[in-house]
Chain A
Amino acid sequence: MARRFASLLIKNGTLLITFAIFILEYFIGGQLYPAMKQPQVFFNLFINNGSLLLVSIGMTLVIISGGIDLSVGGLLALTSVASAALLKLGVSPAIVIPLMIVMGIAFGGAMGSIIHFLKVQPFIATLMGLFFARGLAYIISLRSVTITNSFYKYLALTPLHIPFLSKVYIYIPTLVAPIMLLAAFFLAKYTRFGRTVYAIGNNEQSALLMGLPVTRTKISVYVFSGLCSALAGIVFSISLLAGYGQFATGMELDAIAAAVIGGTLLTGGVGNIFGTLFGVLISGTIVSILQFNGTLSSWWTRMSVGVLTLIFIGIQSFFYSRERRSQ
């Protein structure tokens, strides 16, 4: 029993460290700014970073499969502008939201197909996807488009109170990210699809020779990322009640950083959905701490996330090389 526990510890080493750092960070924040100890602050992390979390989840699976998806920010922006424009024309949300999801899936499918069938490198293909998506967003509207639809307003402004905690609330769209998180975790660990993703990330040639459905899986992983980006766009546009082509610039990098901090290796084959959750929470906490401080400019956020990512990669390569040398 103890040995099982010990092996579990070793196997999930990076995850535990990430978790520990999050707890530590939060604790320090609480010590520095007592106002941070309010439970609402914790839930604000989910409210404010819902889109980033969604996008990061999709990104994690793609990176595990050995690829990368740089188009996520662009697709998010496109989704937000497209929905805002459609809503302005009077189209009902009951049509807009499913339509956006379909668009995200189609976009992801296109990315995956280009990467797999035309053998274009993921970096380049999704970079083009980023340009294209954001470009389309600009074509729809260069300026921000406000959303006045009542259903959207309802979703944006109706608080859901947390049971057992007074005065603590979240919003309905906040739930989307945690639900997708659980779905992704389930996919990754308990479905053949998920295990095939890990296999492809380790050695695509081997996966093919082992008879795994490589084509289907590779494309599906980008479809999933497209779906996550579209959902993120919907959540984002609800939260800000607007659609704008310049939304989420640089979010792809934040998503990659979150995945890396969470223990996902950019080389593929290794990764953890819950790690990504903590990756997002960690950078979210930094932002919170800086907000509570109030004096430091937002550039410090970017820099500290950069430094943090650096530290994490250092830890990762240390652990990883240790593990490899022990073989």
Chain B
Amino acid sequence: MEKSAELLRASNISKSFPGVTALDNVEFSLRRGEIHALMGENGAGKSTLIKVLTGVEHPDTGTLELENKHIMVHSPQHSQELGISTVFQEVNMCTNLSVAENIMLGREPRRLGMIDWNAMEQKAKQAMKRLDIEIDVSRPLGNYSIAIQQMVSIARSLEIASAKILILDEPTSSLDVNETRLLFDVMRKLKNEGIGIVFITHFINQVFQVADRITVLRNGQLVGAYEAKSLPRLQLVAKMLGRNISDLEAVSKTKKKHSTTEKKESLLEAKGLGLKGSLEPMDLRLMESEVVGIAGLLGSGRTEIANLLFGIDDPDTGSVTMQGRKVERFSPLDSIKNGIALCPEDRKAEGIVGDLTIRENIILALQARYGWWKHLSSQKQNEIAEKFIKLLDIVTPSPEQLAKNLSGGNQQKLILARWLATNPHVLILDEPTRGIDVGAKAEIQKLVLDLALQGKSCLFISSELDEVARTCNRIMVMRDHKKAAELPGDAKEQTIMQTMEGSL
């Protein structure tokens, strides 16, 4: 029997939850030996489709065919047995167990009824070798970086008998350029072995580097499936948005409007600021009315600067002066009192207090500044909440909604609102547009520029170079825990990248 080229076909898939239609009559097909990118804005239905394919959710209507045979996926375990493996954005493995155990968990080799630890390590070593990676498989998984953990996750997926399909859900979000390249090499190797790979990502660059076909979803519906070769970038974004991307162009125009040559006051100055193991001593100066970008690979020291300036960590060398006054104590509360605000990288763990209302989340930092005894009245709280909901266009029926019910993009705006409410002079933004749709991205970038116009100083940390280039007056490039260079705001993306990598 001839092996058909089509590996997986999902037809007429619909899925609804109370109040929302997540998928509406969606089609998806995956060929043998192809890398198929699945794209769409937040709320487009990508994760729901994946959940259907992996048995986490059951579709209301529609059929699934695997190698031309009709199937129904009952559970994640069942999907693995069928040959569909998934690697999620958050590495879903057990950090307390060794690499070898994680790879073989549930299928540990046994001898005389007992687990054979030696055989397990051998098999694990082989599995990692298939990906061209050599590490000590007996050490706990938690000892390794997220990138390696993801590789281990992929190795595990492949180890499971006859893995035909590999689904990668936002695998590159936590990886730097080198690690991404490594991942793509692995993906291409697997593709050549005939495995079908579904690649979900936000990064348009990466899609064109590695994908054969692209499927675009919007609002739960299928927009279309295209050959990557024949789809121009701009068209892809337009299809994802369903409109023109003139917003992004508007942002560039705003920046040009803001650039002036007026003499500016220095707001924040850091001299020789450093922390052993995180950041080499460096100097930094933020002036009012400007946006300074920080670019760099993951682990280059970007978030570390933010954490030191905001007082999350204590520096062991150097000093910081804010508006001429030396900062004596480093803590978030002291920073807030000094007029510094930090919108953190991980909004779920470091930002959103899920069971508190939107109103409470917005006034939280402001109230912290006032302390325990000076309580903001309900009236005042409502005023502030309404003001920022309107300003940032946070979509919610009421300020008394729980924060955890907001979508990702609105949650990011909520955190931003919290920090804007403290009326800071210096606003540090660590990856403020990560994981939110293009429309909201543009809004936030425009907001940052508007803040600069009002006299504030923004420190904009981002891994998306086009964002940095579009919004910043100056760009600091970090590499290997130290400041590599300071580039002007109109530097080419190419230049920035090369500085990040070290070739410049």
Report whether B94 and A211 are in contact in the complex, using a CB–CB cutoff of 8 Å: no
Residues of A within 8 A of B221 (CB): none
> Does residue B114 face the partner (Cβ distance < 8 Å to A)?
yes
Q: Residue of B at shortest CB range from A64?
A: B96
Q: Residue of B at shortest CB range from A324?
A: B142
Which of these, A189, A190, A191, A206, contacts B94 with CB under 8 Å? A206
> Does residue A203 face the partner (Cβ distance < 8 Å to B)?
yes
Nearest Cβ distance between residue B2 and chain A, in whole angstroms? 31
Q: Bound complex: CA of A327 vs CA of B138, how far in Å?
A: 15
Report whether A198 and B97 are in contact in the complex, using a CB–CB cutoff of 8 Å: yes
Report whether B115 and A206 are in contact in the complex, using a CB–CB cutoff of 8 Å: no
Q: Bound complex: CA of A209 vs CA of B90, how far in Å?
A: 12
> Does residue B397 face the partner (Cβ distance < 8 Å to A)?
no
Q: Bound complex: CA of A199 vs CA of B97, how far in Å?
A: 7
Residues of A within 8 A of B88 (CB): 209
Report whether A198 and B94 are in contact in the complex, using a CB–CB cutoff of 8 Å: yes
Q: How many A-B residue pairs have CB under 8 A?
A: 60
> Does residue A89 face the partner (Cβ distance < 8 Å to B)?
no
Report whether A190 and B114 are in contact in the complex, using a CB–CB cutoff of 8 Å: yes
> Does residue B252 face the partner (Cβ distance < 8 Å to A)?
no
> Does residue B101 face the partner (Cβ distance < 8 Å to A)?
yes
Nearest Cβ distance between residue A101 and chain B, in whole angstroms? 23
Q: Provide the A192-219 mask, 1 if CB < 8 A to any CB of B, else 0.
A: 1001101101110111111110000000
Residues of A within 8 A of B95 (CB): 202-203
Residues of B within 8 A of A233 (CB): none
Residues of B within 8 A of A201 (CB): 96
Q: Provide the A307-320 mask, 1 if CB < 8 A to any CB of B, else 0.
A: 00000000000000
> Does residue A270 face the partner (Cβ distance < 8 Å to B)?
yes
Q: Provide the B199-228 mask, 1 if CB < 8 A to any CB of A, else 0.
A: 000000000000000000000000000000
Residues of B within 8 A of A326 (CB): 143
> Does residue A186 face the partner (Cβ distance < 8 Å to B)?
yes
Q: Provide the B129-145 mask, 1 if CB < 8 A to any CB of A, else 0.
A: 00000000010001100
What bracket does the count of chain A residues touching chain B fall in? 20 to 34
> Does residue B105 face the partner (Cβ distance < 8 Å to A)?
yes
Report whether A210 and B97 are in contact in the complex, using a CB–CB cutoff of 8 Å: no
Which of these, A191, A203, A327, contacts B114 with CB under 8 Å? A191
Residues of B within 8 A of A203 (CB): 92-95
Which of these, B76, B97, B114, B143, contacts A211 with CB under 8 Å? B76
Q: Residue of A at shortest CB range from B114?
A: A190
What bracket does the count of chain B residues touching chain A fall in? 20 to 34
Report whether B96 and A211 are in contact in the complex, using a CB–CB cutoff of 8 Å: no
Residues of B within 8 A of A7 (CB): 138
> Does residue B77 face the partner (Cβ distance < 8 Å to A)?
yes
Q: Residue of B at shortest CB range from A201?
A: B96
Q: Bound complex: CA of A54 vs CA of B138, how far in Å?
A: 31
Which of these, A195, A208, A210, contacts B115 with CB under 8 Å? A195
Q: Bound complex: CA of A252 vs CA of B93, how far in Å?
A: 31
Q: Bound complex: CA of A207 vs CA of B105, how far in Å?
A: 9
Nearest Cβ distance between residue A191 and chain B, in whole angstroms? 7
Residues of A within 8 A of B96 (CB): 198, 201-202, 269-270
Q: Provide the A252-283 mask, 1 if CB < 8 A to any CB of B, else 0.
A: 00000000000000000110000000000000
Q: Bound complex: CA of A208 vs CA of B95, how far in Å?
A: 15
Q: Bound complex: CA of A199 vs CA of B103, how far in Å?
A: 12
Report whether B114 and A210 are in contact in the complex, using a CB–CB cutoff of 8 Å: no
Report whether A206 and B93 are in contact in the complex, using a CB–CB cutoff of 8 Å: yes
Q: Provide the B80-106 mask, 1 if CB < 8 A to any CB of A, else 0.
A: 100000101000111111000100011
Given contacts A192-B115, A211-B106, 19 further A-B contacts (CB under 8 A): A190-B114, A195-B105, A195-B108, A195-B115, A198-B96, A199-B97, A203-B93, A206-B93, A207-B94, A208-B76, A209-B76, A209-B88, A210-B92, A210-B106, A211-B76, A212-B106, A269-B94, A270-B96, A326-B143
A and B contact pairs by CB, cutoff 8 A, 23 listed: A7-B138, A186-B114, A189-B115, A190-B114, A190-B115, A191-B115, A195-B115, A196-B105, A198-B94, A198-B97, A199-B94, A199-B97, A203-B95, A206-B93, A207-B94, A208-B76, A209-B86, A209-B92, A211-B77, A211-B106, A269-B96, A270-B96, A327-B143
Residues of B within 8 A of A (CB): 76-77, 80, 86, 88, 92-97, 101, 105-106, 108, 114-115, 138, 142-143, 156
